[in-house]
Structure 1
Amino acid sequence: MFDNLTGKLSGVIKTLRGETRLTESNIQKALREIRLALLEADVALPVIKDFIARVKEKAVGHEVMNSLTPGQALVGVVHQELISIMGREKSDINLSTVPPAVILMAGLQGAGKTTSSGKLAKWLMEQKKKKVLLVSCDIYRPAAIHQLELLAEQVNSDFFPVKPGQKPNEIATAALDYARRHHHDVMIVDTAGRLGIDDAMMQEISQLETLLQPIETLFVVDAMQGQDAVNTAKAFADALPLTGIILTKLDGDARGGAALSVQHITGKPIKFTGIAEKLTGLEAFHPDRMASRILGMGDVLGLIEEAQRSTDQREAEKLMKKMKSGKGFDLDDFKMQFQQMKKMGGITAMMDKLPAQLSQAAQNVKVDDKVISRTEGIINAMTRQERAKPEILKASRKRRIAAGSGVTVQEVNRLLSQFEQARKMMKMMNKGGMTKMMRGLKGMLPRLG
């Protein structure tokens, strides 16, 4: 995410070496680089023009503190303006109404509207402890109704069944009555999408909006569409009283133009971003954290919050006891560490939140989610005794494990070597050797090839 933009902006610092003050003349080249970076990121032209003007206004005459270089001072100004164009403040979802709070999901076909409805249900149940009812008014695609029903099963939310021949307004009225009688806190309504904006779609969703009086009308838009996504969002914002935006597939967009443009153009806040296919892949949008990620500073706070949500506290405490004693760390514990990574969205999602320098260093280790799955497969092919006492793994056992997990004996040996390095790290931590432990960190990660 934002790979190209992050790389370009990081070069801005180098253009101002040796300067003691930010002036109109010495920041011209830097501003030109920023403008080109934003153009390549597919940011909307009106946004670029306004952004550059504001950065120039704030930066010219800016005194550089002794602790900063001019490049760092300019990046500080850029950081604040990035936050500003993305909304400045985090915009929370509004549920302040007599239950059920109705959330209407709008958007074009293929933007991820149905999946986002399921993800949002899961997020509301876990983060807000709400009882959620999922409702599909997409009568034109029976597969969409079935998909939402499956998602409801997966996230353990309630689903309102649709009868053949029902119209969207009939479904919405019956669902609202059902939600009231069954004391649901929130009702999420997935609406029909089209391949393009048309009058029939707008009329239908406008009728649903009038009927349901939703507390939130969220527009779901595919970030990978760049400026097209922004134009579509503006068309919907002009036709509907949107309250916010969900930006999907953000992890698939290396440019990031939609994230930087959509709030500024529509005037509607980005409330959530969708990443990955997993149902846990929905995050509340924080403009300040996103600005930090764009500038290569990472989102360590977000990473910590995700770890706290995903980590099994009892298992973590058991592992801590083993680490303190320096005894008992086995291959089951080793596997559990990788399972925790997967719960947090996998290696890719974690790397994206690390500061650029750490992320690049980790990528040099050549770690990916497929390798982690292969590592789990090798450990699963072992007996309980072998996982507890890896030292008994001789040649014949290794051949059996390799055949059972579909890998080579060399990969089994590599895994055992990495496990031994991890076990040594546990002992180093117990003895207070943090520096030695950090040097050994790279060795415990599974590698490609």
Structure 2
Amino acid sequence: MFKNLTKRLSNIIKKMSGEVRLTKDNTENMFREIRISLLEADVSLPIIKKFISNIKNKSMGKEILYSLTPGQSLVSLIQSELSHIMGAHLDKKHFQLNLLTQPPSVILIVGLQGSGKTTSIGKLSKYLQKNKKKILTVSTDIYRPAAINQLKIVTLESGSDFFPNITNNPINIVNSALKHAKIHNYDVLIIDTPGQIGINKIMINEINLIYKIAKPVETLLIVDCMLGQDALNHAKIFNNMLTLTGIILTKLDGDARGGAALSIQYIIKKPIKFIGTSEKIYGLEKFDPIRMTNRILGMGDILSLINSAKENINKISAKKIENKIKNKEKFDLNDFKTQLIQMKKMGGLNMLIEKLPYYIQQKTNKSNVNETEKKIRRIEGIINSMTLYERKKPFSIKSKRKKRIAAGSGVNVQEINQMLIQFKQMQNIIKKIKGNSIMKIIRNIKNYIS
């Protein structure tokens, strides 16, 4: 999302790196470039003025301390101001969900139709399960049957429970869901509300009625970053008419310019609590203003990458594979498939690369990465078309079996031969890997399938 902004700011910093001091003369062009960069990113004009003014006041005549170059000083100033705009000065509790209440803790989800409300509920359910929460979801959108079915599908995909609509009255639906959640000891009840093309009084009145009955501890607004300044305008209206506690930004993995992500917390004074990073069920991250700033400035988000690995790597599966390696058992195709799934849960290669520093991203051939992603999907399809015996003993697969597997996975026999050769090479490498190194296997998978 922030590629153009990241590129521009990186170039500005590079230009300034040779200067001995930040002065009025050598910063005039820099401020102009920053202003253009932020305008192109669709950042709100009042925020741009405030941002430039603060940097200007802090940088004029500033001596370069110790070994810092002007470019490094500038990075520090920009980093500080950007993170401040997104709320870095606030207490960390400000960005956390408040679930320290008598169960069930109710989370009310609001937003426009098409903003990603229902999908975000599925992702939020998946996220909360990591904290050992028992989740129930319910839809009060009686106007679009497809919305109810969609919520049911994403809820079941997340591993949570769905409360079916037994009436066309939203208030009765909420009362029934609350009663069910209490009786069956659910920790969290997530309520999806009707979403419409535009905001109107009927919609807001209905949500306010639901709010009074449900008494949510969190009322989260879903904001579609693809809408740019319109997203900010909608957020302002929702904030004026409802008691919001936070925001979930969606579609940050798209081609939007990102101005809403930079502006929204500063303008409506509500914290961004989560960001949607992909369409997949695990594509939701806790928002951190400093880490987001680092990502925008091209410094990468290594901490987020590490956290993603910790959250998504199945420790039991990892331990099982490590034990096999220690005991000199063969790493088979079942193990290989497990590692492919672990990598997909971390967001795939493209998502991993986007969290690396910008100078590394520049050296990465996007088309090669996309081709590798396709190969990974094909390999998974090939393995899924095999019997358990074939996965355990892949080199027992002869001509007849290869033809059957090729037909089942939609590839040709040559691709199966190539995969088996590459898998043999990978087996040989893994023999040399010591224990406690499951991350080495995941990191190197790309090398064996490129």
Whether TM-score is above 0.5 comes out as: yes
Shift of 1:441: 4.8
Shift of 1:232: 0.6
**What per-residue deviation string (whole Å, max 9, x for no partner) do you get for residues 116-144 of structure 1?**
122222222322x2232212111111221
Structure 1 pair 401/221, CA: closer, same or farther in 2 (3 Å)?
same
Count of residues in Structure 1 that have an aligned counterpart in Structure 2: 439
Corresponding residue number in structure 2 for 1:123: 127
Shift of 1:115: 1.8
CA contact (8 A) 1:425 1:441 kept: no
In 2, Cα distance between the equivalents of 1:21 and 1:421? 54
Residue in structure 2 matching 1:229, options 223, 231, 237: 231
Task: Provide the secondary structure at the position in 2 that maps to 1:12.
Answer: helix
Runs of 5+ consecutive residues of structure 2 not aligned to the other structure: none
Structure 1 pair 406/73, CA: closer, same or farther in 2 (3 Å)?
same
Corresponding residue number in structure 2 for 1:253: 255
Structure 1 pair 67/323, CA: closer, same or farther in 2 (3 Å)?
farther
Structure 1 pair 385/146, CA: closer, same or farther in 2 (3 Å)?
closer
CA contact (8 A) 1:245 1:270 kept: yes
In 1, Cα distance between the equivalents of 2:429 and 2:358? 25
In 2, Cα distance between the equivalents of 1:376 and 1:268? 42
CA contact (8 A) 1:4 1:254 kept: no
Of 107-116 and 378-387, the range deviating more from structure 2: 378-387
In 2, Cα distance between the equivalents of 1:346 and 1:192? 33
Matched, 1:111 2:115: yes
Residue in structure 2 matching 1:149, options 140, 149, 152: 152
Task: Provide the secondary structure at the position in 1 that maps to 2:149.
Answer: helix
Corresponding residue number in structure 2 for 1:132: 135
TM-score, length-normalised on structure 1?
Answer: 0.88
Aligned residue identity for 1:261: S
In 2, Cα distance between the equivalents of 1:403 and 1:355? 42
CA contact (8 A) 1:15 1:29 kept: no
CA contact (8 A) 1:22 1:60 kept: yes
Aligned residue identity for 1:87: G
Corresponding residue number in structure 2 for 1:219: 221
Residue in structure 1 matching 2:375, options 368, 371, 386: 371
In 2, Cα distance between the equivalents of 1:321 and 1:99? 40
CA contact (8 A) 2:43 2:260 kept: yes
Corresponding residue number in structure 1 for 2:39: 39
In 1, Cα distance between the equivalents of 2:66 and 2:326? 43
**What per-residue deviation string (whole Å, max 9, x for no partner) do you get for residues 252-298 of structure 1?**
13521111011111111101112322221221111111111111222
Task: Provide the secondary structure at the position in 1 that maps to 2:285.
Answer: strand
Matched, 1:205 2:207: yes
Structure 1 pair 360/402, CA: closer, same or farther in 2 (3 Å)?
farther
Aligned residue identity for 1:38: L
Structure 1 pair 412/132, CA: closer, same or farther in 2 (3 Å)?
closer
**What per-residue deviation string (whole Å, max 9, x for no partner) do you get for residues 362-396 of structure 1?**
44571233321112223444566665566666777
Of 196-205 and 332-341, the range deviating more from structure 2: 332-341
Task: Provide the secondary structure at the position in 2 that maps to 1:283.
Answer: strand
RMSD of aligned C-alpha atoms? Answer: 2.8
Aligned residue identity for 2:234: T
The 5-angstrom pairing of residues 262-411 of structure 1 reads: 262-321=264-323, 328-363=330-365, 366-368=368-370, 369-381=373-385, 387=391, 401-411=405-415
Corresponding residue number in structure 1 for 2:447: 444
TM-score, length-normalised on structure 2?
Answer: 0.88
Of 394-403 and 118-127, the range deviating more from structure 2: 394-403
The 5-angstrom pairing of residues 92-103 of structure 1 reads: 92-103=96-107
Structure 1 pair 26/317, CA: closer, same or farther in 2 (3 Å)?
same
Corresponding residue number in structure 1 for 2:24: 24
Aligned residue identity for 1:2: F
Of 33-42 and 318-327, the range deviating more from structure 2: 318-327
Corresponding residue number in structure 2 for 1:434: none
Shift of 1:97: 2.6
Corresponding residue number in structure 2 for 1:60: 60
In 1, Cα distance between the equivalents of 2:60 and 2:398? 69
Task: Provide the secondary structure at the position in 2 that maps to 1:31.
Answer: helix
Shift of 1:199: 1.6
**What per-residue deviation string (whole Å, max 9, x for no partner) do you get for residues 143-197 of structure 1?**
212222333333333333322332x223223333333333332221111111011
Of 64-73 and 258-267, the range deviating more from structure 2: 64-73
Residue in structure 2 matching 1:160, options 129, 144, 163: 163
Matched, 1:426 2:425: no
Aligned residue identity for 1:289: R
Structure 1 pair 121/399, CA: closer, same or farther in 2 (3 Å)?
closer
Aligned residue identity for 1:146: N
Structure 1 pair 360/367, CA: closer, same or farther in 2 (3 Å)?
same
Of 281-290 and 93-102, the range deviating more from structure 2: 93-102
**What per-residue deviation string (whole Å, max 9, x for no partner) do you get for residues 412-447 of structure 1?**
44434543543454356559xxxxx99x95872534
In 2, Cα distance between the equivalents of 1:424 and 1:213? 59
Task: Provide the secondary structure at the position in 2 that maps to 1:97.
Answer: coil
Of 7-16 and 388-397, the range deviating more from structure 2: 388-397
Task: Report sequence identity in percent.
Answer: 52
